[in-house]
Every structure is written in structure tokens, then in C-alpha cells.
């Protein structure tokens, strides 16, 4: 069974600083994909970044990077140079099976509980 754990309480960060959002996962699958999504108050789910279980390098997408520690089963999201518009809920998610598509929404996903990030001016 898969499980995504996001245990941080609401996070606060000063504008222009970096912040790390934690995510640990549990799976017996050898092939899997890890995703981070942003959900602003409007409700839409915005794909941020993807990491395949066999990817040797940590994924990066602009200001977003994923600190993938496979042995520890962690996939923390790092947001650099925080902006006020980064204030939102952030969800870590996992897809079972072979890594395939980037955005993740094409497969059944298991989501964590989410973390609320607030960026202070």
C-alpha cells in the first residue's frame, strides 16, 4: 500500500527567502513517480514538478526543485526566492507503476494531506 506523509503544520516564509516543504512516502513498488502540486484558494491543481523513481538527478523546474532521497523515501520540495503568489496549499503525490508522464494527472494518484504555505511580505 502506498502512503504519502506531509506532517508539517502551516509554513511561513519571508518573501524572497527559500522554503522546504517535506514529503515522505511509502511504497513497495520499484517504479513510481512523485509529484508536487500547488492549490491556490481558487481550487485548481497546478502541477509543479515531477521525479521518477529511477531519475538519478533531482528534478528542477524554475524556482522549484525536488530533493529526492530515495533511501529515506523522501521527496521534499524546495521553493527558492519565495513570492507572495506562492501562498497556497501544496500537495505531494505518488503514482504507482512505471514512471511515464510528467504532469501526473493521467494516472491514479495518492495525495498527502497538504501543507499550507504563507509568504510574508
Partner 1 sequence: GAVVSQHPSRVICKSGTSVKIECRSLDFQATTMFWYRQFPKQSLMLMATSNEGSKATYEQGVEKDKFLINHASLTLSTLTVTSAHPEDSSFYICSAKSNTEAFFGQGTRLTVV
Residues 9-38 binding partner 1 (CB under 8 A) are: 37
Alpha-carbon distance of 95 to 121, in angstroms, equals 35
Does 44 sit near partner 1 (CB under 8 A)? yes
Set of cell numbers at residue 85: 503568489
Residues 60-119 binding partner 1 (CB under 8 A) are: 91, 93, 101-114
From 28, 42, 57, 121, residue interacting with partner 1 (rule: CB under 8 A): 42
* Residue 35 near residue 25, CB atoms below 8 Å: no
Alpha-carbon distance of 53 to 34, in angstroms, equals 8
How many residues sit in the footprint of partner 1 (CB under 8 A)?
22
* Residue 76 near residue 67, CB atoms below 8 Å: yes
From 47, 58, 63, 64, residue interacting with partner 1 (rule: CB under 8 A): 47
Site of interaction with partner 1 (CB under 8 A):
37, 42-45, 47, 91, 93, 101-114
Amino acid at each position: 500500500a502506498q502512503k504519502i506523509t506531509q506532517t508539517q503544520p502551516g509554513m511561513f516564509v519571508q518573501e524572497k527567502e527559500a522554503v522546504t516543504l517535506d514529503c515522505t512516502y511509502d511504497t513497495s513498488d520499484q517504479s513510481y513517480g512523485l509529484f508536487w502540486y500547488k492549490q491556490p484558494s481558487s481550487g485548481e491543481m497546478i502541477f509543479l514538478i515531477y521525479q521518477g523513481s529511477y531519475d538519478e538527478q533531482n528534478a528542477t523546474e524554475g524556482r522549484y526543485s525536488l530533493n529526492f532521497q530515495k533511501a529515506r523515501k523522501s521527496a521534499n520540495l524546495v521553493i527558492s526566492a519565495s513570492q507572495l503568489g506562492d501562498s497556497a496549499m501544496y500537495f505531494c503525490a505518488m503514482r504507482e507503476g512505471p514512471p511515464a508522464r510528467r504532469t501526473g494527472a493521467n494516472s491514479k494518484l495518492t495525495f498527502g494531506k497538504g501543507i499550507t504555505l504563507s509568504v510574508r511580505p
